[in-house]
Homo-oligomer: A and B are copies of this chain.
Amino acid sequence: MSPRPAHIVIVEDEPVTRTALAGYLESFGYRVSDFDTAEKAEKTLTQGTVDLLIADINLQGKDGLEITREQRARSEIGIILLSGRTDDVDRIVGLELGADDYVCKPFNRRELLARVKNLLRRTAAMRALTRRVLHFNGFTFDVGSRQVTDAAGQTIVLTRAEYELLRVFVFNPGTVMDRDRLIAAITHRQDGTNTRTIDVLVQRLRAKLGDDPKAPRIFTTSHGEGYVFTALLD
C-alpha cells in the first residue's frame, strides 16, 4: 500500500519519554527522528520529508507552540503536542495555532499510536493538494509557472482565464463548483458577468486537454449545479 514508511519527528527534552516513544513507533514500522530541542530538529523539518511532528510543549529555547506556528505557516505536516500539565490555555492555544492534537503526559502509548495512524491517513491526502506541480491523466500542471504539458511532453498554452479556471478545479477536486463561484475565481470584475462564460471556458479547456463532455474524464458537468474536476490526481 504505502511505498515508504511515514517519517515522524519527535521533539522532547525528557530522554526517557523520548527514546521510549521513538522505539515504540519504530517497532510499528515508522521512520523516527528524535531531538531534544527544536533547534536541532529544524534541519530535518526543513527537508520537507517529514509527515508528522510530535513536540513537547515545554522545551528549552523554542517551545512546541512556536514550532507549531512556524510549521503551520509553511507546511501541512501533522502536528501532535505533548504536555506535562493538563492546562486548558496551553491546549487551546496549541490547537488554535493549528496543532491537530494535544496529548497529556503521562499518555497511553497505544492511544498515541492510534492518533498517529489517524492523522497520517488525513495528511497523506492533504500533501497532494498543496503541491505546486500536479499530475493528472498524463498531464503535468505547474501552478507557479502556469505551464501545462501533456503526456508526450508537448506544452499546452493556456490563456489567463483558462489557467485560473484549471487552478480552481485542480485545488478542489471532486467538488461540484457552481458557475458563480468559478466566475468569482477567474474574473476580477465586480459587475455580474454572464455565467455562460464559464461554459465557453470549460469547453475550451476540454478542447485543449482532449476531454469529451459525452464521456468526461477530467471535467464532468453536474447538470443544474456546475462542473466537477474528476481526474485522478497523482
Contacts and interface: CB of A to CB of B under 8 A. Distances in A.
A122 B100 contact: yes
Contacts of A157: 214-215
Interface stretch (A27-35, A56-64, A126-134, A200-208): A126-134
Contacts of A140: none
A192 interface: no
Contacts of A95: 111, 114-115, 118
The residue among A157, A174, A225, A228 with the most chain B CB atoms within 10 A of its own CB is A174
Nearest to A115: B95
A179 interface: no
A174 B76 CA distance: 13
B174 A129 contact: yes
A165 interface: no
Interface size class of A (residues with CB under 8 A): 35 or more
A217 B145 contact: yes
Task: Indicate how many identical chains form the complex.
Answer: 2
Nearest to A172: B128
A157 to B, nearest CB: 5
Contacts of A220: 145-146
A211 B227 CA distance: 29
Nearest to A228: B146
A174 B111 contact: no
A98 B119 CA distance: 10
A225 B189 CA distance: 10
A161 interface: yes
A160 B220 CA distance: 9
The 5 closest A-B pairs by CB, nearest first: A95-B114, A122-B122, A128-B174, A125-B126, A160-B223
13 contacts: A3-B172, A92-B114, A98-B118, A122-B122, A122-B126, A125-B125, A125-B126, A125-B130, A131-B232, A144-B174, A147-B230, A160-B222, A188-B225
